[in-house]
Homo-oligomer: A and B are copies of this chain.
Amino acid sequence: VDGQQAAKISATDRGLSYGDGVFRTMRMVAGRVQNWHLHYAKLADDCARLALICPDKTLFEQDIAQFSEHHAGVIKLMVTRGDGLRGYAPPVISTPTRISMISALPNVDPVHLSAGISARWCQLRLAHQPRLAGIKHLNRLENVLARAEWQDAAIAEGLLLDVADNVIGGTMSNLFIVKQGVLFTPDLALCGIAGVTRARVLAYTTRLNWHVSITQLSMNDVLAADEVMVVNSVIGIWQIHTLDDKKWAAGLVTPLLRAYLEGDND
């Protein structure tokens, strides 16, 4: 917390009071955060969207250096608007709180990387809030409620629709589908989180001259797809092999994108 070894933060921090902050979750491999520059750029963008002061990159790099004894893990960074008096008004002069933490990499079932995962549709519908859409902010009750809809450990992810019945992504991931040679991913102008791995897939496939479309997708678009995938910075990419009653055979695109995503293209 703010460069000090600490397990606690102020009980009056606006991150707790209002979720007034942003975060990042990244993969550390061989003592190095994958795609760190992309992650910091996204953190800084998200801070700017909320008029938060983003701590200097070097401060986070010093925090992360303290974790280098760990070979691998998940690094989570948070920036909040800092301590505040009661009241929603952001302080005229605020000192952000910077939190950096490490935890173990999740154990991933090897089947998730070969055949893929089982997924389900969530009941919860994401609200439209263009002022917050795309930002990885600390107001995540929709994700919590959606993820609480199932306990079956065999279901690795739930897919979310918005109030207009557009598919937006997974509870913790962004979604891609392939159909007739075109790669599609949901437009996130009204809700959802625009993750770094999504951006990497879009940049890479555009460079390969694929036909790529950021658009509105319906449940039927997903069900009619040739291949359906979810991505995030910790899991990389998983194909969905089962979605309720629908099943897909292992596709070609997922392993291709995985090979790219496993690299570090900063």
Contact = CB atoms under 8 A, between A and B. Distances in A.
Interface of A: 1, 6-20, 23, 25, 50-51, 74, 76, 78, 80-81, 85-90, 92, 99, 101, 103, 124, 127-129, 131-132, 137-148, 151, 163, 171-172
Of A14, A90, A131, A144, which is in contact with the most chain B CB atoms at under 10 Å from its CB? A144
Contact of A19 (B7, B74, B127, B138): B138
A89 B138 contact: no
A230 B32 CA distance: 53
A112 to B, nearest CB: 15
Given A18-B143, A20-B144, A11 B99 contact: yes
Given A86-B25, A90-B144, A144-B90, A101 B131 contact: no
A87 B11 contact: no
A128 B128 contact: yes
Given A127-B128, A127-B129, A141-B132, A51 B148 contact: yes
A88 B137 contact: no
A86 B76 contact: yes
A140 B88 contact: yes
B19 A11 contact: no
Nearest to A90: B148
A52 to B, nearest CB: 10
Contacts of A129: 127, 142
Of A8, A81, A148, which is in contact with the most chain B CB atoms at under 10 Å from its CB? A8
Contact of A139 (B50, B51, B140, B151): B140
A85 B101 contact: no
29 contacts: A8-B9, A8-B11, A9-B11, A11-B99, A13-B16, A15-B16, A16-B16, A16-B78, A16-B80, A16-B138, A18-B19, A19-B138, A25-B86, A50-B141, A50-B145, A51-B148, A85-B103, A86-B103, A88-B140, A88-B144, A88-B146, A88-B171, A90-B144, A92-B151, A124-B131, A127-B128, A131-B142, A132-B141, A139-B139
B6 A128 contact: no
B131 A137 contact: no
Contacts of A10: 7-9
Contacts of A74: 86
B172 A87 contact: yes
A89 B148 CA distance: 6
